[in-house]
Amino acid sequence: MDRLDLGGLFLHFLILWFLAIGGPATIFPDIHRYVVDVHHLLTNTQFAEIYTLAQVAPGPNAMYVTLIGWHLAGWQGVAATTIPLLVPATTLTLLVGHLNERYPNAPIGQAIRRGLTPITIGLVFASSTILMRAVNHDWRGYLITLLTVAVVLRKSWNPLWLFAGGALAGILGFV
């Protein structure tokens, strides 16, 4: 484990949140790269578990960054990872919200949306494969993942039930 550089962590998260068009799942791969691969602050398994825990908590899905911060450095870590996610929302969002009320049908807005959507999809796909490789050790893990996909695409159940099912499968020794 490297020595923790909170300032560096803060700056890295700050840059990432400005790139997070399409939501927190798009920066998941780069947070994993920074925290696990480059700085060895968490193991692959710890990272996956922390992400999962935050998904079971109420609130926006982005709160996994807060939990990473807490795990690394307590309240200071929470500040270093959570404050950056507020910065684009309080600067760019207010500015664009203001401009949008003035110029509602600007074609550049449409081009940005159409152009960036596929990139967002590619990034969320990258997040899911990184998470799968971190948690699924054999075919049984992949089976649970695929079952989840099948259920989500067909039913609109609350995801908490699926998490409960996954926990049960784990405790019963299936994975």
Partner 1 sequence: MEQKELHKPNVSRFALFLAFSRISLSSFGGAIFWARRELVERQRWITEREFIEMFTLGQLLPGPNVLNLTVMFGYRFAGWTGAAASVAGFLGWPCLVVVGMGVLYQHYGALPQVQQALTGMSSVAAGLLLATVVKLAMVLPRHWRPWLFGALAFVGVGVMRWPLLWVMGALAPWAVFAAWKEQE
Residues numbered 57 to 76 that lie near partner 1 (CB under 8 A) are 57-63, 66-67, 70-71
Query: Looking only at residues 136 through 175 of this chain, which bind partner 1 when binding is defined by CB under 8 A?
Result: 136, 141-142, 144-149, 152-153, 158-160, 162-163, 165-171, 173-175
Smallest distance, partner 1 to C-beta of residue 160, A: 5
Task: Name, in order, each residue with C-beta under 8 angstroms of 108's C-beta and a sequence gap of 6 or more.
Answer: none
**13: nearest Cα among 28, 31, 25:** 31
Joined tokens for residue 169: 């499968």
Task: Name, in order, each residue with C-beta under 8 angstroms of 151's C-beta and a sequence gap of 6 or more.
Answer: 157, 162
- Nearer CB in complex with partner 1: 2/168: 168
**CA quadruple 156, 160, 164, 169: dihedral, nearest 10:** 60
Smallest distance, partner 1 to C-beta of residue 39, A: 13
- Nearer CB in complex with partner 1: 7/107: 107
- Nearer CB in complex with partner 1: 2/12: 12
Counting residues that bind partner 1 (by CB under 8 A) gives: 106
**69: nearest Cα among 104, 41, 97, 40:** 41
Query: Looking only at residues 24 through 53 of this chain, which bind partner 1 when binding is defined by CB under 8 A?
Result: 24-27, 29-30, 33, 37, 48-53
Q: Give the integer Cα–Cα distance in Å for 37 and 42.
A: 9
Q: Give the integer Cα–Cα distance in Å for 81 and 73.
A: 10
Q: Does 85 bind partner 1 (CB under 8 A)?
A: yes
Smallest distance, partner 1 to C-beta of residue 4, A: 15
Query: Looking only at residues 97 through 116 of this chain, which bind partner 1 when binding is defined by CB under 8 A?
Result: 97, 100-102, 107-116
